[in-house]
Amino acid sequence: MERKFLATEHAVALILSETTDTAEAYPKLLEAIGTSLGWQFGALWEEVIEGKVSLRCAAVWCGEPRSADFAEQSLGTILSPGVGLPGRVWSSGEPSWIRDVRADTNFPRAHAAAASGLRGAFCFPIRTGRGLSGVIEFLSDHPRDPDDELLATMQTIGIQIGHFVERGMAEKAAREREARHAGILDSALDCIVTIDEGGRVLEFNAAAERTFGYRADEIVGREMAELIVPPSLRDRHRRGFVRYLETGDAQLLDRRIEILGMRADGSEFPVELTITRIGAEPPIFTGFLRDITGRKLAEADLRASRVRLVDAQDAERRRLERNLHDGAQQRLVSLALALRLVRDRLHERDEDALELLDRAREEVDLALEELRELARGIHPAILTERGLQPALESAVSRAPFPVELAAPEGRLPAPVEAAAYYVVCEALANVAKYADASKASVSLAQSNGRLLIEISDDGIGGADAAKGTGLRGLADRVEALDGRLTVESKQAGGTRLRAEIPLS
């Protein structure tokens, strides 16, 4: 008998070592165990969870033709825990024996078993590291007395089968993960490129194929830098990669940056890139890239549109200023001269008429001054005729507090001069309205092809660039020229406004 058990264990071990799929292994296991032990029917029951835990007959084996009807009735049958021999073993976790199923009150298939000539039965659990995954039962064509040694052997075999089941489940899960991973990679809209510690490509998804013009089989295993990094950036990329591997100094990891990529045809294009490290050792790096050519073109179109709008506004300001200067202002000047001539010719004894003329001349002078101020606010003629420095000197001279001015001499591009002028004027107007300042300073300087503007005061601070339309309008004007405007304003710490405008 012991030799028979050893033969059974050997047959089971051989099947488990040669088979990877549980669906293929189960019938072979049932046949090997049943044949070696002299039993006529075997069934494997698996755990199923459909609202509640139950057992389903997933595989059967018949040693004799007359057991076929019982096998057909058993296959697919579902039993609750505690019901029938499989349910009892599932609930207890221990092997169990029935001498004669006809006499057993808890064997729902007893009538079908008797009709197929099946009598004795035993069942043992399939045990995994997580618990039970199923049970295996065998039936004989005659009553059999319990055999403790056989049950002990079957319990050991149940553990071996459980290890096999667990391994199969892990492999299935791994295959499913790989399939999901591949599906995610292939369906991703962004390019996903994975490289090893040597910079060689490990993965190149479908979006990367479309974007860079390489097939995955053409690029996998080759150095990424020589294929999709432009020549001007390759040395920098390689140095940074080596530096990170040697020192761990990660300057680009887990950051979103904009850089250039290169297609298979050698054309360069802008990409948005994020690199992350996967795993510990050896390191693997995955880059997520997105072609932002369309976005860059849209941004360029937007900037060009804003520049055109600012230019159009400035041109309209100049037109209005000229119309006021050449039209209404000249008419008022002529009217003032006419009034002066009338007064000179009027008889001095007509005091009432002289007083009325003097009042009319005063009103004309006030209207003329207000019109000049209006024209200056629309667009100062001095800015067009003499440049930024004289225009700013005129502007700060009208401020209700001392203003220290430092501005470069010479002419600058007209859009830059206009933007700088209005930034200074709006900032000084805000200081006068809200800052309660005793003094201010205005500094303009050229550096690295940019005009740097700074306006600061000693007022109460607390300015918020997000509130109001004045600063927002200035920011729009500056940004339309690819510039930048920032405001620093602490409570009781004064306000500092900075602007940078490219000169080109």
Q: What does the pLDDT read at residue 88?
A: 95
* 292, pLDDT greater than 60: yes
SS in 3 state form for 295-364? HHHHHHHHHHHHHHHHHHHHHHHHHHHHHHHHHHHHHHHHHHHHHHHHHHHCCCCCHHHHHHHHHHHHHH
Q: Which of 285, 288, 284 is nearest to 272 (CA)?
A: 288
Higher local confidence (pLDDT), 33 or 180: 33
Q: What does the pLDDT read at residue 228?
A: 93
For 29-60, what is each residue's pLDDT tens digit?
A: 999 999 999 999 999 999 988 778 899 999 99
- Where do the H-state alpha helices sit in 98-147? 110-115
Q: What does the pLDDT read at residue 478?
A: 84
For 125-142, what is each residue's pLDDT tens digit?
A: 999 888 899 999 999 999
pLDDT tier at 223, thresholds 50, 70, 90: very high
For 226-247, what is each residue's pLDDT tens digit?
A: 999 999 999 988 888 888 888 8
| Element of type H or E holding 192 | strand 191-195
Q: What is the mean pLDDT of residues 138-149?
A: 94
Give the count of beta carbons closer than 10 Å to the beta carbon of residue 366. 10
Q: What does the pLDDT read at residue 240?
A: 86
* 453, pLDDT greater than 60: yes
Reported pTM: 0.49
Distance CA 418, CA 112 (A): 100
Q: What does the pLDDT read at residue 372?
A: 61
Q: What does the pLDDT read at residue 186?
A: 77
